């Protein structure tokens, strides 16, 4: 697979008018292929594998919030990065999820070709599926390189997307508590 992707990068390098055989570029197709495979490694993972059974019994029923999980993804329209942070909250119902697993869930879906809205929903639904909680809230704030380096070239705009499930959707006070905690 790496060789196949590298071959395509070699064609791209040639097509943009560079010489893929010059010293500095000789290993670039292979390096770029490995980087691309890393950035899309989420396709090879499953929720079950990354959660690895780290769901624990707990009587807590108060909101749990994991804030400022850094996020690197790639927009599916231009294959350029979008970079930001993700906040996840849930209302446990007998079970809590291992802390590191929130970041693993974010990475698994971020390391795919994405748009921010779908990424936000996929993370929320995964947390809901694993925790069976009374509600899940996910907010992502990100900057899109496809809007900064090219296209409209706007350097200071960021996009905020949110998905509220269960009580975060139906109960205004719960939603407000979450929004206050992340602001
Ligand atoms: N909603 C949403 N749009 C995105 C995301 N990432 C990129 N886009 C947008 O996808 C759109 C693609 O628009 P097109 O007109 O088909 O492509 P384009 O000619 O390259 O567009 P410009 O970026 O406006 O130059 C652009 O408006 C991008 O800003 C994302 O995560 N969410
Ligand atoms: Zn884009």
Q: Is 86 annotated as a binding residue?
A: no
Residue 39's φ and ψ, nearest 5 degrees, are -70, -15
**Annotated catalytic residue 144:** yes
7-47 confidence digits (pLDDT tens): 999 999 999 999 999 999 999 999 999 999 999 999 999 99
Q: Which residues contact 169 (CB under 8 A, 6 or more apart)?
A: 135, 175
How does the average pLDDT of the chain come out, rounded? Answer: 98
Complex ipTM value:
0.87
pLDDT digits (tens, 9 = 90+) for 99-115: 999 999 999 999 999 99
Select which of 114, 116, 122, 128 is catalytic.
116
Gap between the Cα atoms of 99 and 115, Å rounded: 25
What is this structure's pTM?
0.95
For the 48-182 domain, the top CATH level (class) is alpha beta
Q: How far is CA 49 from CA 42, 44, 108, in A?
A: 11, 10, 11
Distance set, CA 11 to CA 2, 4, 15, 28, 95 (Å): 14, 11, 6, 12, 51
Domain with CATH 1.10.286.10 in the chain: 1-41
Class of domain 1-41: mainly alpha
Domain with CATH 3.30.1130.10 in the chain: 48-182
The rounded Å distance from CA 147 to ligand 1 centre is: 8
């Amino acid at each position: 697979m790496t060789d196949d992707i590298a071959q395509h990068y070699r064609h791209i390098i040639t097509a943009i008018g560079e010489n893929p055989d010059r010293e500095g570029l000789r290993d670039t197709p292979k390096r770029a292929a490995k980087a691309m495979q890393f950035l899309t490694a989420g396709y090879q993972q499953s929720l079950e594998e990354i959660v690895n059974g780290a769901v624990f019994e707990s009587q807590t029923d108060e909101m749990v919030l994991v804030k400022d999980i850094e996020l690197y993804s790639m927009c599916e329209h231009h294959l350029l990065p979008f970079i930001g942070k993700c906040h996840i909250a849930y209302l446990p119902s007998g079970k809590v999820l291992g802390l590191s697993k929130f970041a693993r869930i974010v990475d698994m879906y971020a390391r795919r070709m994405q748009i921010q809205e779908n990424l936000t929903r996929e993370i929320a639904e995964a947390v809901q599926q694993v925790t069976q909680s009374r509600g899940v809230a996910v907010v992502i704030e990100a900057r899109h390189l496809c809007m900064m380096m090219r296209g409209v070239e706007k350097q200071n705009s960021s996009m905020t997307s949110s998905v509220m499930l269960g009580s975060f959707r139906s109960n205004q006070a719960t939603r407000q508590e979450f929004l206050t905690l992340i602001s």
